[in-house]
Amino acid sequence: MADLRELVAEELSAPVDQRVSAVAAAIAAKHGGASQAVLFYGSCLREKRLEGLMLDFYLVVSDYRSAYAKRWLAAANRLIPPTVFHFEHDGLRAKYAVLSEADFAHECSPEAWTVSTVARFAQPSRLVWSADARAAERVMASVAEAAPTLLGWTLPLTAGGSPEELWKRAFEMTFGAELRAERLGRSASLVDADPVRYREFAAAARTSRGDRNTAQRWWRRKQRKGKLYSVARLMKASLTFSGGAEYIAWKINRHAGTEIRLKPWQQRHPLLAAITLLPKLLKSGAVR
């Protein structure tokens, strides 16, 4: 049986398009000496044509105060992590989320405040930039916690079945703990895209089954908290993310198949746009 740390290290070190590495290096440079590592994740991992897409990155920093010139940005990131920014480099568009090393490690662990970071890094990702070998090792150790954490949370809800079914249930539960603009079946498609990978990670995670009723109560609490936290992050992103309202509309249109068009006043006032759009999106089912 493969060792989980070895699987994670191999996956994180897999090669990526040189343009992705260049974007990651530029993101790291923007935050100076605070930058420790940049991870590349999301659907663009499987894409060869990057033009017109939004690349997804996580920037892991030593601490928030050192990462920002403005104190309010550091305070906002510390209060409601992560903070998401828009970025463009050499014709490619990207967004990146900023977490401190301490928060990244915490959010990949069983003690995580929300399920979002665990869910993202239980999926494939790439370590595309690091400050040094020690920073890379620390990030790899945190990522290696994500898969066993997610499966450990989910296993008590299942009654046997294949590793693929366990993973699908896990992603289904995490989608229910966020505001998601995803089509039905998205959780299954993640696993079906690479079932061998998910079988190997499930075998290496070596999780044990806990009490079903306890797990159900735990998930209900996380899902309630996660929805509220998603709203808070959405409001913050409308302020910190350049073109935040336009990005929110683009994201929903892309994943939910909607055709949202922002009015001029919504483009000028992204926070108000986010507040006014949310009830309509929830009612229509475009966001769940």
Output the CA torsion 53→170→219→154 (10° steps): -150
Is residue 286 situated within a structural domain? no
Cβ neighbours of 206 (radius 10 Å): 11
| Domain CATH code at residue 180 | 3.30.460.10
Report the sign of the C-alpha dihedral through residues 155, 156, 159, 165, in that order.
negative
Q: Over range 258-282, report the average pLDDT.
A: 61
Average pLDDT of every residue of the chain: 86
Predicted confidence at residue 226, as pLDDT, reads 83
Q: Over range 6-15, report the average pLDDT.
A: 97
Predicted confidence at residue 139, as pLDDT, reads 98
Q: How many domains does the chain have?
A: 1
Q: How many whole angstroms separate alpha carbon 28 and alpha carbon 78? A: 19
Q: How many whole angstroms separate alpha carbon 258 and alpha carbon 183? A: 11
User: Would you say 165 and 55 are in contact if contact means Cβ atoms under 8 Å apart?
Assistant: no
Q: Tell me the per-residue pLDDT of 51-67, one tens digit each, with 9 for 90 and over.
A: 988 899 999 999 999 99
User: Would you say 155 and 166 are in contact if contact means Cβ atoms under 8 Å apart?
Assistant: yes
Q: How far is CA 214 from CA 146, 210, 272, in A?
A: 20, 8, 39
Is residue 113 situated within a structural domain? yes
- Domain of residue 128 covers 4-242
Q: Over range 87-94, report the average pLDDT.
A: 94
Is residue 135 situated within a structural domain? yes
Q: Which of 219, 38, 200 is nearest to 119 (CA)?
A: 219
Predicted confidence at residue 286, as pLDDT, reads 45
Q: How many whole angstroms separate alpha carbon 189 and alpha carbon 208? A: 25
